[in-house]
Amino acid sequence: MIIVMLGAPGAGKGTQSKVLQDHLHLVHISSGDLLRENIRRGTALGKTADEYITKGELVPDKLMIDMIVARLGEPDAEQGALLDGVPRTLPQAAALDDALDQMQKKVDSALYINVDDGVLIERLSSRLTCRARGHVFNLKFNRPQVEGICDYDGSELYQRPDDTPETAQKRLEVYFEQTRPIIGYYRDKGVLCEVNGDQYIETVTWELQNCLR
């Protein structure tokens, strides 16, 4: 089963993916984590991606999809995966479908977590990220047990530069322009399920699971 997680920055895709992976026994593949891991390990794909990033350029769609396909080919992804952060654009969505088709796979479900713009900005500006592994906390509804310290690995928590209110607004504008059309793409394919993300985390999880049933 291949599941695509959709939603604006701050909608809770990463949080819900981590919960769902345990329930569904699927691998959670975050495009950002995957990109950083390939660069850290010095893989061929990672080295090529790093060249674009160093020049301040976006990583090409094909390179990002190639990373996803390579990850899906690993043994722990045999049963499927939750894709978080990809596709981001309509060309990426089409390229992903083509790549999956060659693997005799397909996107079985696209789960869209819909959250009001104002709530998203509030969430992003309250978000803290751990420096070691990128675990995410929120001062509004998911505080760390010890202030400024990650519950999972003890590393420092910090606010990413792109999580300030001003930058968050710009990130949302980019999302709505480039990524929101993907919602219609998967709706037309009959695999989209939309849930209200402005609820308790457990409620959103239950509704997402209900979609998959």
Query: Could you tell me if 14 and 34 are in contact, meaning their C-beta atoms sit under 8 angstroms apart?
Result: no
Residues annotated as part of the active site: 13, 88, 127, 160, 171
User: DSSP string spanning 143-212?
Assistant: --SBTTB-TTT-PBEE--GGGSHHHHHHHHHHIIIIITHHHHHHHHTT-EEEEE-SS-HHHHHHHHHHHH
Q: Which of 77, 93, 96, 99 is nearest to 24 (CA)?
A: 77
How far does Cα 25 stand from its chain's mean position?
Answer: 17
